[in-house]
């Protein structure tokens, strides 16, 4: 039975733990699927490459208001898909090859399960098993899409499920009736009609992609708005933008799915949030007909696939591995990082966890801690949404004496360049409330510091960054907007305007001793 100094289970962020400083260690890396983990193969990298394609299409579709006539005559889906996975698949192969070439690293293509403290059994691709032990083990197996119980789903063709050791890219693109985010981006052809169940970041990003590329998208979500985990003003504005591009059915869920002679029929049922919408004659007695269904209702950690209890590793009631501030699990010598152990299942959070684990493995007498207080997030749909810290509802629920500042992109010079002011004014003149591109900031009156920042705008993922710095460093709001230059005319001037509005909301600084 081989014994290692370190076994890493999972080759996503976990693989980054092992660098040249571990050259003197005997290391095993166990990966059940393709090297690189979810982000490279099934998540943020391929999806954002597709988002960029969708953004280009949308630029052409909106060109008329800029005095241009630009048309996208056709979308070559195989070329779009293969541009993305031609790069990511090559990178995954290179990552595996580089590990195989290291003399001190052994790669196991298979599925690991604990059999005892720091003891594992790996089921290999050929069906055989290998038993391993180690001084230290890192659990970095990520998460997987949740599949809800829907009547009739088991009777349909589901996604390709790789066996242990099998790569993500099958010999031929997979055709199915329903998909998850793991495989929808590799589908054989664009569906003419696509239903998406779920209104979180995965659902709205892929709705943007497929709607831009020509699919008729219907998005079904149980909440009052899409992106309901975000600040309510941002979520409401995003939902209004989305309704202008695809069919949005909030307050609804899919109760049953059946195959018809022309596609799939989804029976919708209200959830109580609000009544299911009716648009363009698509709904017939509470149902819609589509060609494919994408399930995007959340993710679940993969700890349940490891028999972690045999190793003495505890999980919480959601199946998330419990770790301390140093990323240590309840079992001696076992660490965990990323989605399997995090309340913020984001790649940049997993990468930071990996750096903490890496340092602590190398410096057991000088442990560092993880700081997950201010983890920013971004949604790469249209428009983008980004956030850090508390929502207004969370802040008020916590009893914070709150000051709020806002600013609209339409009121900046860059907003003029985007014709955002005319879009807003036209909607208002027609008697509607135009969805807003805005920055919304929250501060604690007692401390004068930011507790939450929310952006919905083009390039929101960039605009949020100075606010991430401000909240992380605890910079005082008063004077912050005037402490440095803001480039004119750039999108960041909307952040400056929001900071000034927040400072006005805070009012003058209390006199000392008051």
Q: Which residues are catalytic?
A: 488
Asked if 494 contacts 463 with a C-beta cutoff of 8 angstroms, the reply is yes
C-alpha 291/C-alpha 215 separation (Å) is 10
CB atoms within 10 A of CB 163: 12
- Tally the C-alpha atoms within 13 A of residue 384's C-alpha that lie toward its C-beta: 20
Instruction: Tell me how far apart the alpha carbons of residues 437 and 399 are, in angstroms, rounded to a whole number.
Output: 28
- Name 410's Cβ contacts closer than 8 Å, sequence gap at least 6: 420, 421, 423, 424, 436, 437
Residue 264, strand partner residues: 259, 290
124 Cβ contact list (under 8 Å, min separation 6): 108, 109, 110, 130, 164, 165
Angle subtended at Cα 207 by Cα 204 and Cα 208, rounded to the nearest 5 degrees: 90
DSSP label at 487?
Answer: -
How many residues in total does the chain contain? 514
Least Cα distance to 225 among 289, 194, 271, 287 occurs for 271
d(CA 355, CA 449): 28
User: How far, in Å, CA of 208 to CA of 165, rounded?
Assistant: 32
d(CA 391, CA 192): 37
- The stretches of 391-436 forming alpha helices (DSSP H) are 392-397, 413-417, 420-429
Is 180 within 8 Å of 148 (Cβ atoms)?
no
Main-chain phi, psi angles of 384, to 5 degrees: -70, 155
Element (H or E) spanning 219, and its range?
strand 216-220
Which are the contacts of 294, defined by CB distance < 8 A and separation ≥ 6? 178, 179, 180, 181, 184, 194, 195, 196, 197, 203, 206
Q: What is the token pair recorded at 249?
A: 């059915």
Task: Work out the end-to-end distance of the chain between its first and last CA atoms, rounded to an integer number of angstroms.
Answer: 70
């Amino acid at each position: 039975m081989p014994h290692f100094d370190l076994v890493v289970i999972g080759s996503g962020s976990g693989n980054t733990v092992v660098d040249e400083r571990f050259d003197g260690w005997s290391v095993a890396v166990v990966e059940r699927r393709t090297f690189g983990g979810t982000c490279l193969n099934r998540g943020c990298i391929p999806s954002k490459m597709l988002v960029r394609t969708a953004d280009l299409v949308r630029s052409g579709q909106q060109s008329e208001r800029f005095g241009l006539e630009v048309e996208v005559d056709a979308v070559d889906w195989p070329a779009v898909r293969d541009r993305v996975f031609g790069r990511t698949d090559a990178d995954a192969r290179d990552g595996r090859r580089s590990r195989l070439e290291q003399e001190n690293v052994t790669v196991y293509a298979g599925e690991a399960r604990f059999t005892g403290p720091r003891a594992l059994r790996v089921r290999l691709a050929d069906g055989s098993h290998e038993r391993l032990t180690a001084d230290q083990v890192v659990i970095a197996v990520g998460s997987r899409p949740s599949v809800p119980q829907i009547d009739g789903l088991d009777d349909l063709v589901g996604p390709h499920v790789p066996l242990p050791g099998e790569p993500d890219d099958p010999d031929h693109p997979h055709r199915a009736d329903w998909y998850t985010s793991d495989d929808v981006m590799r589908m054989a052809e664009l569906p003419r009609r696509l239903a998406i169940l779920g209104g979180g970041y995965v659902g709205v990003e892929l709705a943007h992609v497929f709607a831009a590329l020509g699919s008729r998208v219907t998005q079904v979500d149980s909440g009052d708005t899409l992106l309901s985990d975000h600040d309510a003003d941002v979520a409401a504005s995003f939902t209004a933008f989305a309704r202008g591009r695809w069919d949005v059915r909030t307050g609804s869920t899919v109760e049953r799915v059946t195959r018809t002679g022309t596609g799939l029929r989804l029976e919708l049922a209200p959830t109580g949030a609000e009544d299911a919408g009716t648009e363009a004659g698509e709904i017939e007695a509470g149902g819609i007909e589509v060609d494919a269904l994408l399930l995007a209702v959340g993710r679940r950690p993969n700890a349940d696939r490891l028999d972690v209890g045999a190793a003495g590793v505890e999980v919480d009631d959601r199946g998330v591995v419990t770790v301390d501030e140093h990323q240590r699990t309840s079992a001696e010598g076992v660490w965990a990082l990323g989605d399997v152990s995090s309340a913020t299942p984001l790649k940049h959070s997993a990468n930071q966890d990996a750096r903490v684990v890496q340092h602590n493995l190398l410096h057991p007498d000088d442990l560092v801690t993880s700081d997950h207080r201010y983890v920013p997030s971004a949604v790469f749909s249209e428009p983008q949404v980004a956030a850090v810290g508390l929502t207004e509802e969370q802040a008020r629920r916590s009893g914070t004496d709150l000051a709020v500042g806002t600013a609209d992109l339409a009121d900046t010079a860059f907003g003029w360049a985007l014709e955002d002011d005319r879009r807003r004014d036209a909607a208002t003149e027609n008697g509607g409330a135009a969805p807003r591109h805005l920055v919304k900031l929250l501060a604690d009156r007692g401390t004068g510091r930011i507790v939450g920042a929310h952006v919905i705008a083009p390039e929101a993922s960039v605009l949020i960054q100075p606010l991430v710095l401000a909240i992380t460093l605890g910079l005082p709001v008063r004077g912050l907007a005037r402490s440095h230059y803001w480039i004119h005319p750039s999108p960041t001037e909307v952040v400056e305007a929001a900071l000034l509005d927040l400072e006005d909301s805070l009012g003058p600084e209390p006199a000392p001793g008051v």
